[in-house]
Amino acid sequence: MGPCDMGAITESEWRYNQLIKLFPSEAEPSFEDEEQQTRWWGRQWGCTNDVGRLRVVLMHRPGSEVEVVDTSRRLDNNAFGDVQRGWYWRGTEGPDLAGMQKQHDAYVAALRAEGVEVVYIDAVAPGRMKSCYTRDSVVGVGGGAIVMRLGPRIRRGEELPATRTLARIGCPILRTISGTGIAEGGSFAWINRRTAVMGLSSRVNEEGARQVEEVLRSQGVELLKVHLTGYRLHIDGLFVMIAPDLALANFTLLPFWFIERLRELGISLIELHHEDDGAIINSLAVAPGRVMMPEGISEHTSDQLRLAGVEVITVPYDKVISGGGGLHCSTAPLVRDEV
């Protein structure tokens, strides 16, 4: 074979090339396009806001996993824990499993009454005693979900049951946080269709936020990064959207620049009153201006919400809150309507 023959192709190869030209790859429409989602994934998956009508949510009913808590292992006057095994429980008493289940069931019933489809996590990993706080494992984004990588030892391992459940119901997983990235969904929030925020803390590092940002950037979404103060874990204890242009916020613990940026984005803010427990912010919008909150809202905050046209549904949740997470923490939205 001479030098001129090196690039020669057979007739069969030539005809195959002509065939391929007739069937090119198609980048458009995008993966997140509604018609593409419905055709290939069964429905429009994901969330692009935190206040649109909630359609599907991922949850876990508290179970025997909380029995890992041993009340003989007291750390101080207000906590139990085992540093080697990684579990901890705040408060002067251990978990009341029956009480937690009763309140969780009532919460699920209230969600279903709002037309929400509740998907339960498949069998949780043994001893992962905070598994009922599903928000941290999964974040709904346009077209699907991101599986997070939880930080502390007691929470590592919650990701696999969440992944299996998403696969079972056909929800696309657009990313699983990997490498040295740490990220928990309680520190992620949508502000509007083009803007989200992530609180950086001991539970979310720069690498974890970068990986989330990488997914959002492909969808034209800007991710704001707020460095939380001290040992604050998640931004959902400081800020929650309750309507397309309205949020409930703790002005004492949020940085000034973020409060100003919210106002620039046209978001009005209701300031958490000093009489309110911080768990009040850990609430969930089930539709624009319709919010589920734990019992115990101060009269001042109730008045402010009413004046803003917000409908509030209260549910008892103190038994579950005692484990370290509220209503918001206990839900991982997988499908919301656009607003």
In DSSP notation, 99-148 reads HHHHHHHHHHHHHHHTTPEEEEPSSPPTT-TTTT-GGGTEEEETTEEEE-
| Number of neighbouring beta carbons within 10 Å of residue 58 | 24
Q: Does the pLDDT value for residue 2 go beyond 70?
A: no
- Tell me what pLDDT residue 91 has: 84
In a domain, 125, yes or no: yes
- Tell me what pLDDT residue 3 has: 53
CA dihedral (59, 110, 281, 77) positive or negative = negative
Q: Which residue has the higher pLDDT, 59 or 273?
A: 59
Q: Does the pLDDT value for residue 4 go beyond 80?
A: no
Read off the pLDDT of each residue in 234-250 and give the average, rounded to a whole number.
Answer: 96
Read off the pLDDT of each residue in 317-339 and give the average, rounded to a whole number.
Answer: 96
Read off the pLDDT of each residue in 182-208 and give the average, rounded to a whole number.
Answer: 97
What percentage of the chain carries pLDDT values higher than 90?
87
In a domain, 274, yes or no: yes
Q: Does the pLDDT value for residue 326 go beyond 90?
A: yes
In a domain, 43, yes or no: no
In a domain, 54, yes or no: yes
In a domain, 28, yes or no: no
pLDDT band at 1 (very low <50, low <70, confident <90, very high): very low
Domain CATH code at residue 232:
3.75.10.10
Nearest to 293 by CA among 58, 54, 107, 116: 107
In a domain, 279, yes or no: yes
pTM of this structure: 0.94
Q: Does the pLDDT value for residue 281 go beyond 50?
A: yes
Average pLDDT, the chain: 94
Full residue range of the structural domain in which residue 217 is found: 49-65+95-336
Q: What is the C-alpha separation between 337 and 319, in angstroms, rounded?
A: 31
Burial class (CB in 10 A: 0-12, 13-18, 19+), 118: middle
Total of domains in the chain: 1
In a domain, 310, yes or no: yes
The beta-carbon contacts of 21-27 under 8 Å, at least 24 apart in sequence, are none
Q: Which residue has the higher pLDDT, 324 or 293?
A: 293
Q: Does the pLDDT value for residue 95 go beyond 70?
A: yes
In a domain, 213, yes or no: yes
pLDDT band at 284 (very low <50, low <70, confident <90, very high): very high
pLDDT band at 10 (very low <50, low <70, confident <90, very high): very high
